[in-house]
Structure 1
Amino acid sequence: MNKSPKQLVEHWVDIFNQGSATEIAELYHTDAVNHQVANESVVGRDAIQEMFKNEFEAADMVCIVEHIFEDGEWAILEWKDPLGLRGCGFFHIVDGKIKFQRGYWDKLSFLRMHNLPLPTK
């Protein structure tokens, strides 16, 4: 039996906090889209896995759930991290897997908090 959108996002958070790009990618459809609005859209499970692999290697990230809301095929995650960054994500769940994800967060604050290079453009 497929998990509800809320349950799937709770599972997503658990895997995210373990830093497993391979496991988190399995939660996505093969043609899924992940659009973190501070970045370009990432299309396809393999590309999403590569994105997470690079992100997990670049920074020690922790997602602390503030709220998860569910409406039909959608789940909305409000989150924070231990450094004070906040954001939210929208997940469209189809047939028990993530078909589309969009995230909103402050990229400049994230880069500064993790001592990562700032964009030059």
Structure 2
Amino acid sequence: MSPKQLVSAWVDAFNQGNADKITEFYASDAINHQVANAPVEGKEAIRAMFRAEFANAKMVCIVENIFEDGDWAILEWKDPIGLRGCGFFKVENSLITFQRGYWDKLSFLKAHNLPIPQ
């Protein structure tokens, strides 16, 4: 599966809110670094992160663009309430080994009525 195809399938799993399904796209030693948060290392820690996130808020990823460059896929996204962001996915052997995401955490927390850290 190409990086672009993998990220397209990842978006489908993300929109289902299924932490177990989305985690299958990651290598066992993958790193997911959403820059507004500390990096999450390892497939099981990534699964726990998604379980917590999906329990906290209904999230929907609407693809604006998916670009591919070698082992990398770049996702530009928006959601139904107007938030936007982008993600970079390094794909090796059809699995995500590294992911970095950029989005506005404060706007996300406010939009979902979640606590704002002090």
Q: TM-score range by the shorter chain?
A: over 0.9
Q: Which residue of 1 aligns with 2:70?
A: 72
Q: Which residue of 2 aligns with 1:53?
A: 51
Q: Which residue of 1 aligns with 2:102?
A: 104
How far has the Cα of 1:60 moved from its partner? Answer: 0.3
Task: Note the alpha carbon deviations across 1:46-93, whole angstroms, 9 max, x for none.
Answer: 000000000000000000000000000000000000010000000000
Counterpart secondary structure, 1:13: helix
CA distance in 1: counterparts of 2:51 and 2:83, whole angstroms: 21
CA distance in 2: counterparts of 1:116 and 1:35, whole angstroms: 20
How far has the Cα of 1:110 moved from its partner? Answer: 0.1
Q: Give me the TM-score of the superposition, normalised by structure 1.
A: 0.97
Whether 1:114 and 2:118 are equivalent positions in the alignment is: no
Alignment of 1:1-121 (within 5 A): 3-120=1-118
CA distance in 2: counterparts of 1:22 and 1:91, whole angstroms: 18
Counterpart secondary structure, 1:110: helix
Q: Which runs of 5+ in 1 are unaligned?
A: none
Q: When the two structures are aligned, how many residues end up with a matched partner? A: 118
* Cα RMSD for the two superposed structures: 0.3
